[in-house]
């Protein structure tokens, strides 16, 4: 179960990568539109908090059942 706590931080790494890609696309407009990168980054940040909330909820439920 310890790996599940680590996987939520992978979403933050993805978000940082896509934000970096979006900013570089903003600087050089010939590379394409940056909005898709920003939308994916926002989705990754949302997934981080979503997974974190439910991991804590499951942990609390397991601690109460013992």
User: For residues 66 and 30, what is the distance between their CA atoms, to the nearest angstrom?
Assistant: 58
Please indicate whether residue 7 or residue 49 has the higher confidence score (pLDDT).
49
pTM of the predicted model as reported, rounded to 2 decimal places: 0.82
> pLDDT digits over 20-40, tens only?
999 999 999 888 889 999 999
- Going from the C-alpha of 52 to that of each of 1, 11, 24, 28, 57, the distances in angstroms are 13, 11, 29, 35, 9
Is 4:57 a contact under the CB 8 Å cutoff? no
> pLDDT digits over 7-25, tens only?
889 999 999 999 999 999 9
Is 17:37 a contact under the CB 8 Å cutoff? no
């Amino acid at each position: 179960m310890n790996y599940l706590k680590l996987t939520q931080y992978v979403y933050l790494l993805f978000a940082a990568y896509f934000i970096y890609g979006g900013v570089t696309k903003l600087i050089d407009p010939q590379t394409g539109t940056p909005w898709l990168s920003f939308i994916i980054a926002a989705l990754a940040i949302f997934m981080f908090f979503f997974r974190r909330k439910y991991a804590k909820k499951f942990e609390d439920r397991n601690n109460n059942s013992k």
